[in-house]
Structure 1
Amino acid sequence: MNTAFTLIKRNSKLFFKDKGMFFTSLITPAILLVLYVTFLGNLYRDGFTSNLPDSVTLSEDIIEGLVAGQLISSLLAVSCVTVAFCSNFLMVQDKANGTIRDLRISPVKPAALSLSYYVATLLSTLIICFSATGICLAYVAIVGWYMSLKDIFFLFLDVLLLVLFGTALSSIINFFLSTQEQISAVGTIISAGYGFICGAYMPISSFGEGLQKIVLFLPGTYGTSLIRNHTMQGALAEMQNQGIPAEVIEKLKDSLDCNLYFFGSQVNIGTMYMILGITILVLIGLYILLNKLKENI
């Protein structure tokens, strides 16, 4: 156990000392927030107003609260996974520069080595993503705050689960990588594509019917919906308090992916947590199995 702890410290220190990996991971959420506010803010704002009947009007504060909630939910849903991949590239770099060979011929158990990469990635990603969550909450407080303490608690829980998911997924994919070129290719694909398939960039409700059904088989979709529910619940509740009809609010929640429907049946919050939790356990189990099989070869 002491060996694993030493390796975790080593991997964490190397990540934070590597200015390329660290600053890329750290500034990505901040850059995304600026880009989202600049380019997606008006798009989201128009989307809210267009989905409301002509007879319904919302105050500017509520609209800004809804926009802020959607913006930060999109950012955090993507960052929790993409940052995990950046943090986990140390495992591939050790293969590329030959460090892994030195570690394997030392008296280090393969299980301790695999565990160290996973835990170091998890800790590094949590530090960055929790920091990003704090920045996002500060932004919401400036433009339109409607979140309760309960919403904030569940938001941090959602971020934790998505980081666990991203760490497990990146560990499995990076297990098969061994060169810098492969790191660049996978990093580009994940950064460019994950936001679309998890419904962060564009609501799933705007996809075609066939693509909607495919995306609903992906666990990241439910992670995005969980974050969206907890960042927007306060603003939606305030709409109800101001007398906005319940059917209008439900239609808005459908368009925002707060409500997800799997082949016509609505997926409740508890089921979303269950799907994400089971997926994390399966991916961790698969990572352990891959390392066990490699030991036996």
Structure 2
Amino acid sequence: MLKAMVLRNIKLYFKDKGMFFTSLITPAILLVLYATFLGNVYRDSFTSNLPDGFSLSQKLIDGTVGAQLISSILAVSCVTVPFCSNMLMVQDKITGARKDLTISPVSSAVLSGSYFLGAAVSSLLVCFTALALCLGYVRTIGWFFSGKDILLLSADIVLLVLFGTALSSMVHFFLSTQGQISAVGTLVSAGYGFLCGAYMPISSFGSGLQKVLSFLPSTYMTSLVRNHAMRGALAQMEADGVPKVFVDATRESLDCTVEFAGKTVTIPAMYAYVGGMVLVLLGAYLAVQYLAERKRIYS
């Protein structure tokens, strides 16, 4: 029954051209906007901070900037896309399909689980398509990725999509109108990129705001993607003789290095924290679904 419900949700998502293209067009538009407008800003900022009398090949500069661009796109898309793909949960309430499903033999646990899994699978398909587009773009300007980097980026995408799906499931549970869907979608699309440090590195914020954001999993999700997207380019800089102090400063300025309570957070610790938050959000989502079902039965 769970498999049938998951397949039903995936089919409905891809059948609804509005939801599908809204999800897919977001990373594509971001890639075009970043490459067209922010690319030159990032490039000028990077080259202006190079040590005096030191120069890098244009390919390495472009590859470094490209890696920064695609890490920002993926960090944002892997959370905003699930908010689009998970709209089916609310759409079923609006159309009355949810009421029909609750009086069918489908249990509450199967229903809530199918929404989560269906949204996760749909989001992964969109986000891996976005990854292919991003890697294709970097391939044309400066390629410094290894097979390991791509595998780690893929693992990051899976983790971030699971987080985005769990978060959107929790939020969408309380929505019941088309206006609420639009409001939440606009808020997440407009604000999340700044909150996670994708548009502006968190290291450029004030110390007080940095301390607040260090508690949020979005900070570490962006750092994971950025570490794995930029590892090859930064390693090539060191191989080309760029002073290590400059490379380390670049890592810190781009949030590859994140501190919590004055201590540098390791990559395994980032994975553990984000994974823990996924479990917490998923548990909370299943709990509110269970309580709502009990209330419906006994009311």
Structure 1 and Structure 2 fold alike (TM over 0.5): yes
Choose which of 86, 98, 104 in structure 1 pairs with 2:84.
Answer: 86
Determine whether 1:243 maps to 2:241.
yes
Q: 2:192 corresponds to which letter in structure 1?
A: Y
Shift of 1:56: 2.6
After superposition, where does 1:162-173 map in structure 2 within 5 Å? 162-173=160-171
Match of 1:127 in 2: 125
1:258 and 1:65 map into 2 onto residues whose CA distance is: 16
How many residues end up aligned between the 2 structures?
Answer: 295
Q: How does 1:156-235 map to 2 (within 5 A)?
A: 156-235=154-233
**Identity of counterpart residues, as a percentage?**
61
Amino acid at match of 1:26: L
Where do residues 1-297 of structure 1 align in structure 2 (5 Å cutoff)?
3-297=1-295
**Aligned mates of 2:45, 2:211 — CA distance in 1:** 23
Deviations 1:123-173 (A, max 9, x none): 000000011101111111111000111111100000010000000000000
CA positional deviation for 1:55: 3.2
Which secondary structure state, in structure 1, belongs to the residue aligned with residue 215 of structure 2? Answer: coil
1:241 CA drift (Å): 0.5
SS in 1 for 2:176: coil
Q: What SS does the corresponding residue of 2:264 show, helix, strand or coil?
A: strand
| Cα shift readout 1:169-222 (whole Å, capped 9, x = no counterpart) | 000000100100000000000000000000000000111111111111110111
- Return the letter of the residue paired with 2:5: L
Q: Is the 8 A contact 1:8 1:120 kept in 2?
A: yes
Output the CA distance in 2 between the equivalents of 1:105 and 1:296: 14
Residue identity in the other structure for 1:294: A
Alpha-carbon distance in structure 1 between the residues aligned to 2:126 and 2:99: 30
Letter in 2 for 1:238: Q
Aligned-residue CA RMSD (Å):
0.9
Query: Once the 2 structures are TM-superposed, how far is the Cα of residue 47 of structure 1 from its aligned partner?
Result: 1.7
The TM-score with structure 2 as length reference comes to 0.97
Q: Cα offset for 1:51?
A: 2.4
Q: Is contact 1:8-1:119 (8 Å) kept?
A: yes
**Cα deviation, residue 31, structure 1:** 1.0
CA distance in 1, matches of 2:11, 2:288: 26
Give, in whole Å, the separation in 1 of the partners of 2:57 and 2:216.
36
Q: Aligned letter for 2:276?
A: I
Alpha-carbon offset, residue 107 of structure 1 = 1.5
Deviation at 1:69, TM superposition (A): 0.3
**Cα displacement (A) at 1:111:** 0.6
TM-superposed CA distance for 1:50, in Å, is: 2.4
- CA contact under 8 A between 1:51 and 1:252: conserved in structure 2? no
Task: Give the letter for the 2:97 counterpart.
Answer: T
Task: Report the AA paired with residue 131 of structure 1.
Answer: T
| Separation in 1, partners of 2:142, 2:243 | 22
- For 2:75, the aligned partner's letter is A
* Separation in structure 2 between the aligned mates of residue 63 and residue 51 of structure 1, nearest angstrom: 12
Q: Which string of whole-angstrom CA distances, capped at 9 and with x for unpartnered residues, describes residues 60-82 of structure 1? A: 11110110000000000000011
Letter in 2 for 1:52: L
Task: Give, in whole Å, the separation in 2 of the partners of 1:56 and 1:261.
Answer: 29
CA distance in 1 between counterparts of 2:194 and 2:145 reads 26
Matching residue's letter, 2:81: V
Letter of the structure 1 residue corresponding to residue 268 of structure 2: G
Code of the aligned partner of 1:13: K
TM-score normalized by the length of structure 1: 0.98
- For 2:194 and 2:42, the matched residues in 1 are separated by 16
1:212-245 Cα distance to aligned partner (Å, 9 max, x none)? 1111111011111111011110010001001111
